[in-house]
Chains A and B, each alone.
Chain A
């Protein structure tokens, strides 16, 4: 397998220059998720305004896939309505579960299509999903 399919330029860029890293002072919900098999950790804050994600910030430690994935996700979801975010979330999960068989929908996932290669590496899918699962948890809590 060609490693470049996994480590796309976009991923390494986000890893080196993570977006929205550094937690906001205020938040509607804060979650802390860990990946027990490898020790990766993320704390994620979400703020909502009229069912729109007004801010999404995070801090954490992890591999390039987990860190780039949450960075890309933050870029993608900020400013979206919860409904729009759900469509993106579902599309990303479907992509991750596709074992490489699915062509990613760039109109929905934008930069997150760079993570398509992860779906061929079963051990790395949970890395890519760490931040997304944290967002899902936080968004549910923020709506309570």
Chain B
């Protein structure tokens, strides 16, 4: 089951280049964005080179080919998630997917199941990325609903003790991340989903950090909506996915209005197309969606279970190596059980930005800061951290480069 990382690296042209005066690239920032295999870069380019035309319009061969390619990509995404093809909406990013939901809820008229009233509750968690926090803060402010959240344990897991107090008959939305982009924590969904459904709330899952790294089956998860971004899943930037249960998408009002999303239009009114078109106004990001289809085919060919297992082994090694270094403290679970390959840490008095700069000088790319989860950083009592995030193209030599780099940084800044 173990991956042939050397041959995978061959698929990613960026690993041919060098960094900072001839150093080997050690890319440990896939949690921010992943690198792209040649097949994805070519798929996006080939769409423009060979098939470019506006989809769902035009009575010509190119329009037919473009539509086939775009709708083919939708089918690939559906298969990737174990979903039906009409349940897949292409957006420009996961952030847009979440905003689409929040604004669509705002557009719901009284009587619609998504309409929020003052006194209704939206529940999130303290470990959310800003993209899955601020849209709900804003929806609460617009609707008069209250925002509440699950807190964290010192290890960086959700504190589920107040589950029944937090998710109540007033709760309409539960929005949470599948895997924390900072802590690596994979959240226990079954209990939360069961409670949310018991009170009639919908569950919105941010799968940005999980869908690229493990096998996802939306019917097994039983969440109601799920979002992820293409660029973290070896796909192009500029394309995200919103999946929703068919019966929910049917009742969800649109967010963006314009061409393609309509059924009929008069000078004073319009009616809406069925999902997914209702949520895809304008000429869509066709080349990027096609690139994403190729990306998911690439990942599927390697095998999501194999990728996950590879990352589990590597994460275990990374954590063992990190905690063997004096002054290094991991912010997040030490156990690899229900934990993904994002590993954040602090290192004594060395500020993460200085650590990141030092590592960069050795060709090692990490992320530093609060990772767009400022409330989480506060909750964990660290203004910022250094984060290494692994993917299918990383191996033990990358982890060793990092831990050697950290030791060198300790010598350098201790001077």
Q: Number of B residues contacting the other chain (C-beta, 8 Å)?
A: 19
Contact B369–A3 (Cβ < 8 Å): no
Contact A39–B357 (Cβ < 8 Å): no
> Closest CB of chain B to A9's CB: distance in Å?
9
Hey, which chain A residues are within 8 Å of B407, CB to CB? none
CA distance A63 to B385 in the complex (A): 11
Of B20, B21, B361, B374, the contact of A39 (CB 8 Å cutoff): B374
A1-42 contacts to B (CB < 8 Å): 1, 3, 6-7, 12, 37-41
Contact B369–A38 (Cβ < 8 Å): yes
Contact A39–B415 (Cβ < 8 Å): no
Contact A63–B351 (Cβ < 8 Å): yes
Hey, which chain B residues are within 8 Å of A12, CB to CB? 413, 415
Contact A3–B413 (Cβ < 8 Å): no
Query: Is A65's beta carbon under 8 Å from chain B?
Result: yes
Hey, which chain B residues are within 8 Å of A65, CB to CB? 353-354
Hey, which chain A residues are within 8 Å of B21, CB to CB? 1
Q: How many A-B residue pairs have CB under 8 A?
A: 46
Known: A38-B384, A64-B351. A121 touches B357 (CB 8 A): yes
Of B20, B351, B370, the contact of A1 (CB 8 Å cutoff): B20
Contact B361–A1 (Cβ < 8 Å): yes
Hey, which chain A residues are within 8 Å of B357, CB to CB? 3, 6, 121, 124
Query: Is A127's beta carbon under 8 Å from chain B?
Result: yes
Contact B354–A63 (Cβ < 8 Å): yes
Hey, which chain A residues are within 8 Å of B415, CB to CB? 12
Query: Is A79's beta carbon under 8 Å from chain B?
Result: no
B308-363 contacts to A (CB < 8 Å): 351-354, 357-358, 361
Hey, which chain B residues are within 8 Å of A41, CB to CB? 383
Per-residue CB proximity of A98-131 to B under 8 Å, as 1/0?
0000000000000000000000010010010000
> Closest CB of chain B to A134's CB: distance in Å?
17
CA distance A37 to B352 in the complex (A): 13
> Closest CB of chain B to A7's CB: distance in Å?
8
Query: Is B368's beta carbon under 8 Å from chain A?
Result: yes
Contact B353–A38 (Cβ < 8 Å): yes
Contact B354–A38 (Cβ < 8 Å): no
Hey, which chain B residues are within 8 Å of A124, CB to CB? 353, 357
CA distance A3 to B351 in the complex (A): 16
Per-residue CB proximity of A50-85 to B under 8 Å, as 1/0?
000000000001111100000000000000000000
Known: A38-B369, A39-B369, A61-B383. A3 touches B412 (CB 8 A): yes
Query: Is B377's beta carbon under 8 Å from chain A?
Result: yes
Contact A39–B351 (Cβ < 8 Å): no
CA distance A6 to B357 in the complex (A): 10
Hey, which chain A residues are within 8 Å of B351, CB to CB? 62-64
> Closest CB of chain B to A115's CB: distance in Å?
14
Contact B358–A39 (Cβ < 8 Å): no
Hey, which chain B residues are within 8 Å of A37, CB to CB? 369
> Closest CB of chain A to B351's CB: distance in Å?
4
> Closest CB of chain A to B392's CB: distance in Å?
27
Contact B354–A39 (Cβ < 8 Å): no
CA distance A143 to B358 in the complex (A): 41
Hey, which chain A residues are within 8 Å of B370, CB to CB? 38-39
> Closest CB of chain A to B414's CB: distance in Å?
10
CA distance A122 to B412 in the complex (A): 22
Hey, which chain A residues are within 8 Å of B374, CB to CB? 39
Can you sample 21 A-B contacts with CB below 8 Å?
A1-B361, A3-B358, A7-B412, A38-B352, A38-B353, A38-B370, A39-B370, A39-B374, A39-B383, A39-B384, A40-B383, A40-B384, A41-B383, A62-B351, A62-B353, A63-B351, A63-B353, A64-B351, A64-B354, A65-B354, A124-B357
* A binding-site residues for B, Cβ under 8 Å: 1, 3, 6-7, 12, 37-41, 61-65, 121, 124, 127
Given A39-B384, A121-B357, A124-B353; 11 other pairs, CB 8 A cutoff = A3-B361, A7-B413, A38-B384, A39-B383, A41-B383, A61-B383, A62-B351, A64-B351, A64-B354, A64-B413, A127-B353
The 6 closest A-B CB pairs, nearest first, are A63-B353, A63-B351, A38-B369, A39-B370, A3-B361, A39-B384
